[in-house]
Amino acid sequence: MGNIPTTVKHCLSYEQLIRDYPWLKRLLLEEKSIAAHEYPEFVKVVEVGPRDGLQNEKEIVPTGVKIQLIDMLSGTGLPVIEATSFVSSKWVPQMADHTDVLKGIQRAPHVQYPVLTPNMHGFQDAVAAGATEVAVFGSASETFSRKNINCSIEESMLRFEEVISAAKEHQIPVRGYVSCALGCPHEGYIEPSKVAEVAKRLYEMGCYEVSLGDTIGVGTPGSMAKMLRSVMEDVPSSALAVHCHDTYGQALANILIALQMGVCVVDSAVAGLGGCPYAQGSSGNVSTEDVLYMLHGMGIETGVDLAKVIEVGDFICNALCRKTNSRVAQARGRTSGHALL
Amino acid sequence: MAAVMRLVNRSTLKPKMGHQCLAFSCSAAVAKAVGGSASKNLPERVKIVEVGPRDGLQNEKTIVPAETKIHLIDMLSDSGLPVIEATSFVSPKWVPQMADQVEVMKGISRKPGVSYPVLTPNLKGFQAAVKAGATEVAIFGAASELFSKKNINCSVDESLQRFEEVMKAAKEANVPVRGYVSCVLGCPYEGKVAPGKVAHVAKRLYSMGCYEISLGDTIGVGTPGGMTEMLEAVSREVPVSALAVHCHDTYGQALANILIALQMGISVVDSSVAGLGGCPYAQGASGNVATEDVVYMMHGLGIHTGVDLSKLMDAGAFICRSLNRKTNSKVAQATCKL
C-alpha cells in the first residue's frame, strides 16, 4: 500500500473498507467489467432514408428513383429498410406513390420493409399492397400530437389499438415510434416519465419494438441517459431502438450512450437524408454511413457493407441534386481513403 | 488496493477536496460505480481550449488580416473561454496564415484569467514568442514517424530533442509549456498507430516538463473503441488530469470520442469555433470539432465550462462572415434558423 496518498491512509484502510462493505471484495474481482463499457456484439441498423428521409426533402422524388434507392439499399446488408408511408397524400405528397413503391421494389430475402400506417385505412391499403410489417407513430408531447396528426396522444393510441389488433389477425408485426422523446418544438422539455408512459402503452399493445425519437435533435447524452432509464423501467432494452436526429450534432454521442445502456437497434438515414422541418436548413436524421463507421470502428457487427451504403448515398444525392450530410461520405469522396478502413 | 484506488480515482474526487469529505465521497463513488449508472462519473468541470484562431485559421485557405484575427480572439475572450490558442511562431514560409504572429500577439486585449498559448516549434520561435509577450507556449510531437518527417522534416526523436531546448528556455523564463501529440488514432501515411507509441511520446513530453498533453486525432479517423484503447495506454504513463483530447470531426466521430474520453476521466477538450479548419488530408472535409457543438453537449450533461454559448456563436458568426464561408457547427446552423 505504499503508493496510497497519505490522506487516504488516514481516512480508511483496505481492511476497514472490506469490513464495512463485504460486497466490495466481490466487486473488485469484477472491477474489470465495470471499468470497461459493455457494448452489444451486434447492432441492428434500421434504414429510414426512403421514408423519414425523403419525407423531409423538398423535391418530390419520382417513384422510379425511390424504388432504385430501396433496391440499392437492399444490396448493402441492411436488415430493415422503411420503404414508404400509407398516409393520405394530402398530408404527405412525397409518399403519394406508396402503393407503386411497395409493389415495385425487389424484396431481398432476410430484409424487412416496414411501412407507416397511421390508421386502419392506411393499414388496409398497406396490406393490399403487400406490406409484411407496419409501424405506428405516437408522441410524448400532446401539442406535437395535435399539430402533427390532429389528435391527442390518447386518441392516437386508440387508433393504433385498432391497427395493432388487425395486424395481429394478419400476423403482421408492428413497430412503435415515440416522437419528441428528448424535446418538443412546441412544448420544449419533455418529462422522461411521459416518454416511458407512451412507450409502455405501445409495447403492451403489442409493438415488438419501440423506437424512441429525438425528433428535433436537441438531446444530449445526459438527457438520453435519463430518458432511457425511465423507459427501461417498463420496456426491456431488447425491445428498444433509438432514432436520433443530428440537428445539434449530438446524434452519435447519444447513440453511444444508448449502446452503453443496452440498446442495440439504431435508426438512421443514408446520406443523412431529411432536414429538420423545425429548423430550416439544418440537418435531420443521423447518417447511416457515420453510424456504421462508428459501430464498425468499435468492433460491433452490423452485417452492413459501408462502402456500398456510401455508393447508395452518392446515388440519391445526385438524384436530389444535393450534398450528402454524411461526414464519412464527405471525407471518403475527397480522398484516396485513409489507410485504416 | 490498486483496484480500489482505480475505482476511487475514477470518481468525482478531486485533490482539492478537503480530506474530511474523503470517506463519504469514497463510499459514494464506489456505490455509484456499482450502481452501473450510465452517467459513469463524468467530470463536473471541463476546460475548453479554443484552437480556432491558430489550428482553425491555419487550415483555412483565405488569408485573414491581422485585425480580423485580433477581433476574433477578443470576442472569444469575451465568451468565457479559459484558453485561446492565439497564433503560431512558425516560419511564414511554411505557414503564411501565421505571418502576422507578432502583430496579433501584441494587438489582442488579454482578459485576466485567460491563457493565450502560442505554438513554438523550436528555440527561435520560442524566443520570438517571448519577445512578443507570450506567457504560455505549445510544442507539437507526432506519434507517427512518417508524419513527423513529412510535417516538420525530422524524426520523432529529433523533434523531441528540439523541444528539450525549448523546454529548457521555457523553464528559465517561467513559461508553462503544453505538449501536443498528433496522429494518436491514425496517420494519413502510416495508417494505424500503436497506442504504445502514443503513450511513449506523451510520456516523453510530460517528463520533459509539459504541464498538459493534448492527444490529437489529426485526421479524425478515430472511433470510441480506438479512443478507449489509446487513452488506456497513455493514462498508464501520464496522469489523466494532465491529458486533453483534440478530436477532429472529419468522419463525424468527434463528439462520441470526446464523450468516451470524459467517461475515462479526461477534463480538457480542444475545439475550434465554428469548426474552423478543414482537413488538409481530405479536401473539402471538415476538420476540428466545433466549439459550439462541444459546449452544447457539455451543458446538456450538466458539466460546467464557464462559456457563454450565445457569445461564442456570435464569434463564430463573425469569423464565418469574414471568411465568407458557412459554419461547420450544427448548433450554429440549427439555432440561427429557428
* Cβ of residue A165 closer than 8 Å to a chain B Cβ: no
**Residue B39 to residue A293, Cβ atoms within 8 A:** no
Chain B residues inside the 8 Å CB shell of A297: 222-226, 253
Classified as helix, coil or strand, A108 is: coil
At A52 the pLDDT is: 94
Chain B residues inside the 8 Å CB shell of A3: 2, 5
**Residue A338 to residue B191, Cβ atoms within 8 A:** yes
Predicted confidence (pLDDT) at residue A269 exceeds the cutoff of 80: yes
Query: Residue B88 forms beta bridges with which residues?
Result: B119
Chain B residues inside the 8 Å CB shell of A34: 33-34, 36
User: What distance in Å separates residue A260's CA from the closest CA in chain B?
Assistant: 7
**Residue B297 to residue A7, Cβ atoms within 8 A:** no
Chain B residues inside the 8 Å CB shell of A21: 27, 30
* Cβ of residue A338 closer than 8 Å to a chain B Cβ: yes
**Residue B330 to residue A326, Cβ atoms within 8 A:** no
Give the pLDDT band of residue B59 (cuts 50, 70, 90): confident
**Residue B188 to residue A255, Cβ atoms within 8 A:** no
Domain boundaries, chain B: 47-335
At A192 the pLDDT is: 98
Any idea which of A62-66, A184-188, A266-270 has the lowest mean pLDDT?
A184-188
Residue B324 has φ and ψ, to the nearest 5°, of 55, 50
Longest distance between any two alpha carbons in chain B, whole Å: 58
CA nearest B192 in A: which residue?
A: A340
Q: What angle do CA B338, A54, A49 make, to 5 degrees?
A: 105
What is the C-alpha end-to-end distance of chain A, expressed in Å? 45
B224, B228, B251 member nearest A331 (Cβ): B251
* Cβ of residue B279 closer than 8 Å to a chain A Cβ: yes
User: What distance in Å separates residue A227's CA from the closest CA in chain B?
Assistant: 11
The b/e string for A292-307 (b: 16+ C-beta within 10 A; e otherwise) is bbbbbbbebebebebe
DSSP A94: G
A10, A328, A341 member nearest B252 (Cβ): A328
Classified as helix, coil or strand, A176 is: strand
Task: Evaluate whether B138 touches B178 at the Cβ level (below 8 Å).
Answer: yes
Within 8 A by CB and 6+ apart from A172, the residues are A127, A131, A132, A133, A134
Q: Quote the pTM value.
A: 0.87
* Cβ of residue B35 closer than 8 Å to a chain A Cβ: no
Chain B residues inside the 8 Å CB shell of A299: 225
H-run or E-run covering A178: strand A174-179
Report the percentage of chain A scoring pLDDT > 70.
Answer: 86
Cell of A254: 447519444
**Virtual CA dihedral for B41, B42, B43, B44, nearest 10 degrees?**
-90
Residues B180-189 pLDDT 10s: 999 999 999 9
Classify residue A263 as exposed, middle or buried by CB count within 10 Å of its CB (0-12, 13-18, 19+): buried
Query: Residue A244 forms beta bridges with which residues?
Result: A214
DSSP A62: P
**Closest-CA residue to B329 (of B299, B283, B297, B302):** B297
Predicted confidence (pLDDT) at residue A291 exceeds the cutoff of 80: yes
CA nearest B283 in A: which residue?
A: A334
DSSP A239: G
Classify residue A27 as exposed, middle or buried by CB count within 10 Å of its CB (0-12, 13-18, 19+): middle
Match domain B47-335 to its CATH number in 3.40.50.12780, 1.10.3720.10, 3.20.20.70, 2.130.10.10: 3.20.20.70
At B6 the pLDDT is: 43
Q: Which residues of A are catalytic?
A: 276
CB pairs under 8 A between A and B: 193
What is the 3-class SS of chain B, one letter each residue?
Answer: CHHHHHHHHCCCCCCCCCHHHHHHHHHHHHHHHHHCCCCCCCCCECEEEECHHHHHHHCCCCCCCHHHHHHHHHHHHHCCCCEECCEECCCCCCCHHHCCHHHHHHHCCCCCCCECCEECCCHHHHHHHHHCCCCCEEEEEECCHHHHHHHHCCCHHHHHHHHHHHHHHHHHCCCCEEEEEECCCCECCCECCCHHHHHHHHHHHHHHCCCEEEEEECCCCCCHHHHHHHHHHHHCCCCHHHEEEEEECCCCCHHHHHHHHHHCCCCEEEEEHHHCCECCCCCCCECECEHHHHHHHHHHCCCECCCCHHHHHHHHHHHHHHHCCCCCCHHHHHHHHC
At A309 the pLDDT is: 98
**Residue B253 to residue A294, Cβ atoms within 8 A:** yes
Any idea which of A284-298, B146-160, B172-186 has the lowest mean pLDDT?
B146-160
Distance CA B217, CA A116 (A): 41
Give the pLDDT band of residue B32 (cuts 50, 70, 90): very low
At A13 the pLDDT is: 56
Angle between the A288-297 and A306-320 helix axes, to the nearest 10 degrees? 170
Q: What is the mean pLDDT of chain B?
A: 88
DSSP A107: P
**Chain A (194-233) residues lying within 8 Å, Cβ to Cβ, of chain B:** 217, 219-223, 225, 228-229
Mutation test of the interface with chain A: which of B251, B260, B295, choosing the one with the most A Cβ atoms within 10 A?
B251
**Residue B34 to residue A34, Cβ atoms within 8 A:** yes
Give the pLDDT band of residue B337 (cuts 50, 70, 90): very low
Distance CA B250, CA B183 (A): 13
* Cβ of residue B23 closer than 8 Å to a chain A Cβ: yes
DSSP A154: H
B7, B38, B250 member nearest A327 (Cβ): B250
Give the pLDDT band of residue A16 (cuts 50, 70, 90): low
At A198 the pLDDT is: 98
Predicted confidence (pLDDT) at residue B152 exceeds the cutoff of 60: yes
Classified as helix, coil or strand, A138 is: strand
Task: Evaluate whether A113 touches A106 at the Cβ level (below 8 Å).
Answer: no
Chain B residues inside the 8 Å CB shell of A23: 34
**Residue B252 to residue A287, Cβ atoms within 8 A:** yes
According to the per-residue pLDDT averaged within each range, which of A279-288, B52-61, B91-100, B133-142 is highest?
A: B133-142
User: What distance in Å separates residue B179's CA from the closest CA in chain A?
Assistant: 25
Distance CA B90, CA B121 (A): 6
User: What distance in Å separates residue A234's CA from the closest CA in chain B?
Assistant: 17
CA nearest A182 in B: which residue?
A: B300
The interface pTM score, or ipTM, of the predicted complex is 0.86
